[in-house]
Structure 1
Amino acid sequence: MKISVSMYSLASTIRKENWSIVDFIDYASSISSDWVELLDIYWTNKEDKYEEIGEVLTALKSCQLQVSAYDIMNNFVKE
């Protein structure tokens, strides 16, 4: 069985310790997770998103992790 961990399950730690997505990936690797679930709300580099994407892809490859899901936050109630 393969195990996945979601960024949302660590939301309070991510906020409190100001983790990046790469920090989360490193943590997931340290607990022997096989997969990670990433969330769009944790992208921080709005000006050069491609640089951050490259860093995340490098971290995933380095840690030998795969993305099990990628979630996008939506609110269909508010304009």
Structure 2
Amino acid sequence: MALSPLPPLACLQAFEASARYLSFTRAGQELHLSTSAVSRQISQLEEFLGRRLFVREHNQDHGIGRCRFAQRPHHQHAVFGG
């Protein structure tokens, strides 16, 4: 049986940090990346999976790249340990 290709590790790291903080800016700070770099990695992962993962929200006052899940995870406790 052939294994399917995996998404790039950097994309998964960006997703995990973004999901924890619900902020591309805070994820970028943790990963030492710009907000736009995190957004590009999330976009690459969304393209790989063929579905939207986050809804992007930009705070005009503070320039913060916030996000929320496109759909609420069904197994959030399994993903985030809560």
**What interval of TM-score do these two structures reach, taking the shorter chain for normalisation?**
0.3 to 0.5
> RCO higher in 1 or 2 (8 Å CA, sep ≥ 6)?
1
TM-score calculated relative to the size of structure 2: 0.33
